């Protein structure tokens, strides 16, 4: 973990993650509602709980109760 779990004013939870090399990730979800989330520009794609990989388009993703894993590498 690169940053501890934190919750913002809209009930969005985030946590920074990394591993050997240049891989960076962030887990994100919002248990209270579904909303648009704008991640840092370094995150190019995300994985859902099924492991499906999606490209981040238009600079934002929809988040809700199921966590997403934002990633800086789309492999």
3-71: which CATH topology? Immunoglobulin-like (2.60.40)
Contact, 45 vs 61, CB < 8 A? no
Question: Can you give the pLDDT of all 75 residues of the chain as single tens digits?
Answer: 899 999 999 999 999 999 988 999 999 999 999 999 999 999 999 999 999 999 998 999 999 999 999 999 998
Q: What pTM was estimated for this model as a whole?
A: 0.92
16 Cβ neighbours under 8 A, 6+ residues apart: 1, 2, 3, 24, 25, 26
């Amino acid at each position: 973990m690169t940053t501890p779990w934190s919750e913002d004013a809209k009930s969005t939870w985030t946590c920074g993650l990394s591993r050997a090399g240049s891989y960076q990730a962030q887990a994100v979800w919002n248990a209270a509602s579904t909303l648009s989330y704008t991640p840092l520009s370094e995150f190019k794609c995300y994985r859902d709980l099924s492991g499906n990989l999606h490209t981040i388009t238009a600079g934002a993703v929809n988040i809700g109760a199921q966590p997403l894993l934002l990633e800086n590498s789309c492999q």
